A and B are shown apart, each in its own frame.
Chain A
């Protein structure tokens, strides 16, 4: 168990800055995720920690030991690769025992440890199989066992579930979490799947273009995104364009859009907005509630324009003047296209950012599409 620290880490590939001055600390026994779109530098950051890439600037510490220039084979990390990287010419036993043989352990000790770890990942009895004879989920477990058996200081997982089907993915992520908690090992997990990151992590670092956008617990990231990128990367949302009218000292804002007025909040003290400034507000579909009493703040009324069934709830598009908003609706509300619907939203759920943030965000392409 170890604490991993990155100090001002920079990694360039030619002109591209893959990791851009990343500083962060991962605690003992923590399950920590790097989350971000493809090309954001999350895998590179993980490979830098493993020593498979060397930093151009900055330092990496495992507890107090500076490992920045240690080669990968002297770092004692356990890595699970995206494609599992199981050696096709070795049996399951030989794959798992490899790291122990490198450490020149006695034969009996190797057999004992391999048996234990295969039990842990529920693969007892598969020792003699070859990787090609295993299912995707089983290969995943072998890769995990191979990384764990050497009792690494830190477990590194590079999108380990991306090659599994949806159902198995849910199963395995719970499995990984269970094993990690049982061993109490520090784990660093890379994924582009926000739901996966939310479910599995103690804390998440959201990365974009090599930079850390925000670090926090899943709840913090979802409820209090520090910037527009994080707000739009996690979950579905509606963007509302408008002008900040009244600002109160407790970070509350009255926003005026062409079609209605709405109250919102500024999530972070780092965000500066002045009255009259053009802003964009992010609201999640679930934040809207169908109004019954008609007394709530932020009450909006519109025509249901489109509706889709998502299982536990409906998602409806509500047209208010020229503005469309996405709203989650309970099935019991029995909404149809063409109905007039009144919804309201708590002001803590209307997240206000300056409009300039839009152009600063690499997510702008996607934003335009959603918009």
Chain B
């Protein structure tokens, strides 16, 4: 009782005008635009004929389309065709061409297990590639390192759908790879990669830099004296890596791998892009795509199959549990930061010639292959590649011009800019408030605010969109806030909620760098907390606010899942990514893929500017995709 009274007293003292305002901002926005919509999914999934029931779950989990065990296990198909071959002297003979098709018909475990094994494999492959790349980049110098460093960031430039389309263009029947095999190498067989293996390839290529960045910054944060001490005691080479460097970089690996898993699970870009290249197929048989199509087609909630709610709950649970575990784990393992002081000399060494060859044999193919989708997008946008067969045959500037001339495209760009612009204003209030309360105030339950403010990084956008359709669609049925009628307004808030963590984390990092005594000195001189916040705190963390806002903004511009699901209910209000998906998925008109590619180039340009600017402003490379 006494402790309750004293904590009440403490609460009253902590709740000055500023803190109260900040708390209200954070709690209202996060509950109305994150918590309530998400809870309404639970409501839909668990309530059957008016009472709590697991009926829908039972129905879903017993549906062979959802879980198929044993799977349809025919994932390599070997077919033989014949083609005429003309000798230089004019003789024509018929020769066999073998086609190895990987992933066309399987393995198919059903929507749920497909998603899980794809995400697990992507996480595994991305972790291996990212870990090796990070260790090389953090510890070795080699010729061309700076070029590799820049190229490693290219796969992170999001070009939704079009990058997957490019992969299809390379691995398809008449694609670049097979042209190379049959026409250049004269090998009498072709390889076609499609279905889930293609999804795994695309996602691994675009997500491994997330692991790379997190592990890289973890390794750079290791006090060199720890490795020096180990060397002093006789450890070196792999022993040193295994016993000191690797364990100390585990928090980064764990964080990066978790993010990759969740991003892979919620990804819509690969399945939709591959559909553009191959039409419908097994690459669509993923949880994310299932929920997407259910809600895209529905004109009202009645038309949605209940399994879509169940799948949503499942995805949400997996993501949230992964996030909470990893957050706990990473904060427990932050021992790399134990020692302080001094500027660290990076432990860089130049390996012997064999080492350099090994490094180059690993890094060069890695960066060339993984940045190819982005390069392909640029080629698509300025040539006739989309319609020309394995190679582009001529430059076409019309697609880039469409960015300014095509009325549909212009509208989409204007929509994106409007939503993101308004969302960033709300995000400024939300992010600085949440970060300040968590970093500086002693409010009971502030851990909850901390979690709520950062968890949207891993909550699948599909879930947010579904939640909005249910919550706002039923509560504001047939009003201007009904997402089935007027999705644009709500997109502002999905952008805010989904992308504010970038700003929140940036501001939080800034607050940790300014000593609390700078604020106390201000209180001591008679300034209230609000006055101190605006005259001392904000000027000191301005760089973090601006840097974080730029990042948030650019990730709003290329937000995919809520843009697609909400946007599809009123195409006139659709943002850039929605238009891109329309163009790719229903690529009826020849060459229209190239318009999506032009939009992809626009998004890439924005991202490059934003990342350069924020790196310049924050004066450090931030692992902005960390837990």
Contact = CB atoms under 8 A, between A and B. Distances in A.
Interface of A: 50-52, 54, 56, 69, 71-74, 76-79, 81-83, 85-89, 98-99, 102-103, 146-147, 150
Contacts of B521: 79, 81, 85-87, 146
B515 A83 contact: yes
A127 to B, nearest CB: 18
Given A81-B517, A85-B515, A73 B523 contact: yes
Interface in B540-573: 540
Interface string B524-546: 11111001000110011000000
Interface string B486-515: 000000000000000000000000000001
Nearest to B6: A56
A102 B13 contact: no
B324 interface: no
Q: Which of B6, B525, B531, B535 has the most CB of A within 10 A?
A: B525
By secondary structure, the B interface counts as: helix
Contacts of B518: 85, 87
Contact of A103 (B13, B517, B526, B540): B526
Given A81-B517, A85-B518, A87-B518, A52 B540 contact: no
Contacts of B525: 73, 78, 98-99, 102, 146-147, 150
B14 to A, nearest CB: 10
B536 A87 contact: yes
B527 A52 contact: no
A146 B527 CA distance: 13
Contact of B520 (A78, A85, A150): A85
Given A56-B6, A85-B518, A50 B524 contact: yes
Interface string B250-265: 0000000000000000
B522 interface: yes
B524 A72 contact: yes
Contacts of B515: 83, 85
Given A71-B13, A73-B528, A89 B539 contact: yes
A95 to B, nearest CB: 9
Interface string B5-29: 0100010010010000000000000
B540 A72 contact: no
7 contacts: A71-B523, A73-B528, A81-B521, A86-B521, A88-B540, A98-B522, A99-B525
Nearest to A95: B521
B517 A85 contact: yes
A96 to B, nearest CB: 10
A81 B520 contact: yes
Contact of B524 (A52, A69, A89, A103): A52
Nearest to B525: A99
A73 B6 contact: no
B524 A102 contact: no
Contact of B13 (A54, A79, A86): A54
A87 B540 contact: yes
Contact of A102 (B6, B517, B527, B540): B527
A86 B523 CA distance: 13
Contacts of B528: 73
Q: Which of A76, A87, A99, A147 has the most CB of B within 10 A?
A: A87
Given A73-B528, A99-B526, A89 B520 contact: no
Q: Which of A77, A82, A85, A98 has the most CB of B within 10 A?
A: A85
A12 B539 CA distance: 33
Contacts of A83: 515, 517
A235 B169 CA distance: 83
B527 A73 contact: yes
Contacts of A72: 520, 523-524
Contact of A89 (B6, B16, B527, B540): B540
A89 B510 CA distance: 14
Interface string B170-209: 0000000000000000000000000000000000000000
Contacts of B526: 73-74, 76, 99, 102-103, 150
B117 to A, nearest CB: 46
Nearest to B520: A52
Given A83-B515, A85-B515, A78 B524 contact: yes
A82 B515 CA distance: 11
A147 B517 CA distance: 13
Nearest to A80: B521
Question: 3 closest pairs, A vs B, by CB?
Answer: A99-B525, A85-B517, A85-B521
B607 to A, nearest CB: 30
B153 to A, nearest CB: 31
